Amino acid sequence: MNIKAGTKLSDAIHNNYLLLPILNRFGIQLGFGDITVEQICEKQEVNLKFFLEIVNSFLDKNYFPEAELQNFPLKLIVDYIKRSHVFYLDFKMPQIEQMINNLYELAPSENKKSFQLIRNFFAEYKKDLFNHIEKEEKEVHPYILKIDQAYYSNTITGDIVELVNKESISKYADDHDNVEDKLYDLKNLIIKYLPPIPDYTLSNAILFELFRLERDLNDHSRIEEKVLVPKMQAIEKQILESNEY
């Protein structure tokens, strides 16, 4: 199902509930009645086209509209990425951490150590994710916004050129790998190697959360890698070329 301007938002959720956290990122909350996508975007002052591209690309990897998404102002994309960071750091990570702590509490004494290992591993993963996001927000995003602003307002000074020469978005392009690998490992350690606990529903719930988180993060890095980075590379190239004259 492709979501269109006239699609009822509630139908979109029934079609795929994984969209829920994406809606939150646009400030949309539940209780929206029979409102359509177009109406809610107007109400929330969300760019309708951008909303459609983000939502549809989340639902269907093959749909991924790199060209269209690259037409949106970088600020819009950066803002969206920032809001998903809030979702990861303020909601998902504490929630999963709490569940893993509960898992440890429930573990039988003979296996406590194994569960402590998982707790440590998760803590390490969390630290990596925090560092990764912090670096993005403190270094990469300000750089993108600065270059973007200068480019569109046609105020490319010598400072900007120097900055592009020094920083370059490519430096940050393939930085996701280790964080993604750790999440993958965490899932497999729980699925394959951790002894079972009597309350299997908790282990299941943790895995559900990890799978969902992974899916969300993958979508997130796809937007960064396929939209943000190529668009920045194009801008950087133009800045450097125009400076040659």
Binding interface with other proteins (CB under 8 A): 109-114, 117-118, 120-121, 124, 178, 181-182, 184-186, 188-189, 192-196
Give me the least distance between CB of 198 and other proteins, in Å please. Answer: 13
Inter-axis angle of helices 112-135 and 177-188, to 10 degrees? 160
Q: Which of 185, 195, 224 is nearest to 109 (CA)?
A: 195
Q: Sign of the CA dihedral 140, 142, 145, 149? A: negative
Which DSSP letter does residue 212 get?
Answer: H
94 vs 195 by CB, closer to other proteins: 195
Give me the least distance between CB of 181 and other proteins, in Å please. Answer: 4
Give me the least distance between CB of 192 and other proteins, in Å please. Answer: 6
Both structure tokens of 61: 């990897």
Give me the least distance between CB of 122 and other proteins, in Å please. Answer: 10
120 vs 131 by CB, closer to other proteins: 120
134 vs 181 by CB, closer to other proteins: 181
112 vs 138 by CB, closer to other proteins: 112
Give the Cα separation of 136 and 182 in Å (integer). Answer: 19
Contact 144, 227 (CB under 8 A): no
Give me the least distance between CB of 195 and other proteins, in Å please. Answer: 4
144 vs 183 by CB, closer to other proteins: 183
Contact 144, 74 (CB under 8 A): yes
79 vs 180 by CB, closer to other proteins: 180
Give me the least distance between CB of 58 and other proteins, in Å please. Answer: 25
Alpha helices in 32-92 (DSSP H): 37-44, 48-59, 66-70, 74-86
Give the Cα separation of 192 and 180 in Å (integer). Answer: 18
